[in-house]
Chain A
Amino acid sequence: MKAVVAGAAAIPVRRKLERPVRDTAAELAFAAAADAGLPLSRIDGLFVSPPALGGVPGFMWSCTLAHHLGLATRSQALVECGGLTAAVAFKLAVQEVRAGRISAALVIAMDVRADDRAEDFEFFIRNMTEDLLGLYGPYDALYGIAAPIPYYAMSAQRYLHEHELTRADLAPVAVALRRNAEKNERAELRKPISVEDVLAAPMICPPLGLLDCSAFASGAAAVVVAREEVAREAGRPLVFVRALGEAHEAAHFAPLRAPLSSFPSARAAAAEAFSGARLAPGDVDVAEVYGVFSATELMLYESLGFFPEGRGAAAVREGLTSGTGSTVFDPSGGRLSLGHPAGATPLYSVVEIVEQLRGTAGARQVKDAVVGLFHAEHGMLNGSLVGLLEAG
């Protein structure tokens, strides 16, 4: 049984959600179902991210939403796997549809990253300290790690060191992604930037400056995954889920022995997806990858099989990633400029690829896009999921 992405919707990525999480979820549920040409009553599967990966509690959120939306289903789950969360929710929907258990699943993912609830300072610091120790573990967390940026910075440093590159080689990545975002009304950051701006930006964790980093953001997206015949009856354009690949290493953030300058999980997930779809990187017209930092973006182009290791920077500089090569990368603006609401990011990538393959991406449309790839990850690329979609 073939699964298709029948409907897709997303709100603009901004620092805060415009409306409370319950209203946002309902708005997107109706929008994605309408886009699929299906009434919500046809939905028989519900897969959701927590309302936020941190801060806002998510206990029983899928149950809350099923009640709120009036959805009786045959399959339902709240999923959490770090930055991979929304991709795993999507995978569950695809698997249930392919297995023939359900006919149309709604996937809703969101992330509220600006939490403005009134809290006293002591409560906030205490909670944050405990959350960070849970996240980074009882060894690394004692050094006061407050965000994953130091790990990615050291990965970037190794990448530059091993390939004899400098910070200046990373800057064109941020510029290219911002140029894409200029055409995307959903993007959080759309003001044009230059290589000089990137190099002059405040240093966050060397060698990564502010504009080498993804933007702090909230957002939400939803898709409907349906059986081919259900989507066909609804008369909407078909976007087939050709194959998914997934791989997780026994590591959390910095691996003990593996190098930091390439990502085995991305390589393995891509290999599985390409083999499952009988496609190769050269067949991909448009890709959305989970490059949360400029150097990570380059390493992903390489680990996903599009360029040899160490060649990513030159590929960007030569324009091969933004139109003159066989694949256009991150027409949405990518994580650096679309913005990065982590819990929803993978679904934003699916939405972008679906619009590209339907030919409805407007000013960002990649010409004659037929095959699209999305990639998502958790930790520091400790796990990856790659999906290949194809216009029907």
Chain B
Amino acid sequence: MKDIIDAATKDALSVFGGRATEEFQRRLAQGRLCSTRCRACHAVAFPPREFCPDCHGREVEWIELPKEATLYAFTQQQRGLRFLAPDVIGLVEVQGVGHFLSRIDAPFESLAIGMRLAVGFLQIAPGIWVHQYRPARGVPDGPHDP
């Protein structure tokens, strides 16, 4: 079944993805989580765009996002399409960007809002990557509740 899902994902990416999605994937494969920043208003978009969704400027540049994040919210899917339980997903808050969806590679019970996280990468299908986060080691949990 994974083969079918992988093939369908690849097909659907060619329909619903775009040049920014391709570049995002290319950088994920190199172990870099990147997005685009507007050269005019300096807002960082996520996910990346070839334009600025904040001020609609057409000049943007690719930047690597900070490797650390704070856990903004999290839950667990019982019946997701791709991962077996524990299928923990969360919204991670990255400074200067906002909160966006990611897989969380840790048991649900070990997590708390405000926890410090570090980014990692996972190849889910041939040539298709995602970013995921784990609790950061050696960094004390702070009063980080965003």
**Residues of chain A having any CB pair with chain B under 8 Å:** 122, 125-130, 132-134, 137-146, 149-150, 153-155, 157-158, 161, 203-207, 250, 254-257, 260
Give Cα distance in the complex from A253 to B22, angstroms: 22
* Besides A138-B13, A144-B82, A150-B89, 7 new A-B residue pairs in contact (Cβ under 8 A), listed by A number: A133-B13, A138-B47, A146-B81, A155-B73, A250-B53, A256-B99, A260-B73
Q: Mark B71-84, 1 if CB is under 8 A from A, else 0.
A: 01111111111110
Give Cα distance in the complex from A130 to B100, angstroms: 22
Give Cα distance in the complex from A193 to B111, angstroms: 31
Q: Is the CB of B1 within 8 A of A204?
A: no
Query: What chain B residues lie within 8 Å of A139 (beta carbons)?
Result: 21, 24, 47, 100-101
Query: What chain A residues lie within 8 Å of B76 (beta carbons)?
Result: 205-206
Closest CB in chain A relative to B25 CB, distance in Å:
9
Q: Is the CB of B78 within 8 A of A134?
A: no
Give Cα distance in the complex from A204 to B78, angstroms: 6
Confirm or deny: B139 has a beta carbon within 8 angstroms of a beta carbon on chain A: no
Closest CB in chain B relative to A58 CB, distance in Å:
19
In the complex, the chain A residue whose C-beta lies closest to that of B48 is A139
Closest CB in chain A relative to B109 CB, distance in Å:
10
Give Cα distance in the complex from A205 to B85, angstroms: 12
Q: Is the CB of B46 within 8 A of A132?
A: no
Known: A129-B81, A138-B17, A205-B78. A157 touches B8 (CB 8 A): no
Query: What chain B residues lie within 8 Å of A142 (beta carbons)?
Result: 9, 82, 124, 128, 130
Known: A126-B4, A129-B9, A138-B17. A150 touches B97 (CB 8 A): no
Q: Is the CB of B8 within 8 A of A256?
A: no
Closest CB in chain A relative to B138 CB, distance in Å:
26
Q: Is the CB of A140 within 8 A of B81?
A: no
Q: Is the CB of B81 within 8 A of A128?
A: yes
Q: Is the CB of A138 within 8 A of B103?
A: no
Known: A133-B16, A146-B77. A257 touches B53 (CB 8 A): no
Closest CB in chain B relative to A63 CB, distance in Å:
26
Closest CB in chain B relative to A182 CB, distance in Å:
28
Q: Which of B7, B78, B87, B91 contacts A254 (CB 8 A)?
A: B91
Confirm or deny: B135 has a beta carbon within 8 angstroms of a beta carbon on chain A: no
Q: Which of B15, B18, B87 contacts A144 (CB 8 A)?
A: B87
